[in-house]
Structure 1
């Protein structure tokens, strides 16, 4: 997979909204909540041009029963794909354009992703640091997505912990 970071594109939220409507129309019975996450969800942040979506579902069994509907929409259903309790779907194969991370409603991973997104939005200096790191790691990773992800891991873990603290204080 080519690891390419591009400048923010204002069309990304529109792409998410279109995909959300499509998903709700076809697999809405499996969806309690749906969220735009990842770098494409943060205005101004450079990103890999892949729309990341989180689906919260009443159960994994319901998601599993919708495999054919996801496939009709062009998604590959890849099961847990390395993360227990998740269902992972991608559209566009190795050069994916959309990816869905689906969990049971209120799963800690849903909160983790949303908290990190909101933390980056609220902390412009951290957002800038993250963008610089992403661009540097993308240049150095030789198009190896594992190396790219590993290169961001320490930063993400450090700031996810802060994000979750902030997230828990919101109520």
Structure 2
């Protein structure tokens, strides 16, 4: 018997993703709102008009890791499992261990100066403000989803150069940082 594999599916933008984000944000805030600075909708579902895998990405922003042990404890009490940084410094992943009635989502806790958070925001904001880049990224994602339908690692790895190019234009560009971003 063959093992059932996850199918990578990129679908057209759905305005309901904003509503789902707000629903998840409210739930997470009820658990840890007093310990955090913000909850940001990041990833492709946060970019209006961009086709995406139907998975909400959320960055829970913290001042520093001082509050992190309390966050882990509270989230574990609410049915989340801490998965570590999954290879990205400055971003701690959590997985819901039972169905909470929300659409699928990825939950990350990030310090406000953490690389994971800063890169998510820079990439999201660039795609939101640059229609040409948004269209290029969408076409890339659709092509990769077709090519690597059952291989999430290859799908993700083949997006890396595009993402790095955007981050070089934004977060890692000295003139951009000196002129537009503090």
Q: CA deviation at 1:68?
A: 4.1
Matched, 1:82 2:87: yes
Matched, 1:108 2:118: no
1:69 pairs with 64, 68, 74, which one?
74
Is the 8 Å Cα contact of residues 89 and 114 (structure 2) preserved in structure 1?
A: no
Larger radius of gyration: 2
Alpha-carbon distance in 2 for matches of 1:53, 1:5: 18
Counterpart residue number, 1:36: 41
SS of the residue corresponding to residue 32 of structure 2 reads helix
Deviations 1:9-38 (A, max 9, x none): 101011111111111111113311221001
Alpha-carbon distance in 1 for matches of 2:134, 2:15: 17
Q: CA deviation at 1:66?
A: 2.6
Name segments (4+ residues, structure 1) moved above 4 Å.
none
Is the 8 Å Cα contact of residues 91 and 97 (structure 1) preserved in structure 2?
A: no
Counterpart residue number, 2:3: none
Is the 8 Å Cα contact of residues 89 and 116 (structure 2) preserved in structure 1?
A: no
Stretches of structure 1 lacking an aligned partner (at least 5 in a row): none
Q: CA deviation at 1:162?
A: 0.9
Q: CA deviation at 1:74?
A: 4.2
Matched, 1:137 2:137: no
Matched, 1:51 2:56: yes
| TM-score scaled by length of structure 2 | 0.83
Alignment: residue pair count: 169
Against the structure 1 CA distance between its residues 103 and 151, is the aligned structure 2 distance closer, same or farther, given a 3 Å change threshold?
Answer: same
The root-mean-square deviation of aligned C-alpha atoms, in Å, is 2.1
Matched, 1:170 2:180: yes
Stretches of structure 2 lacking an aligned partner (at least 5 in a row): 1-5
Alpha-carbon distance in 2 for matches of 1:146, 1:160: 21
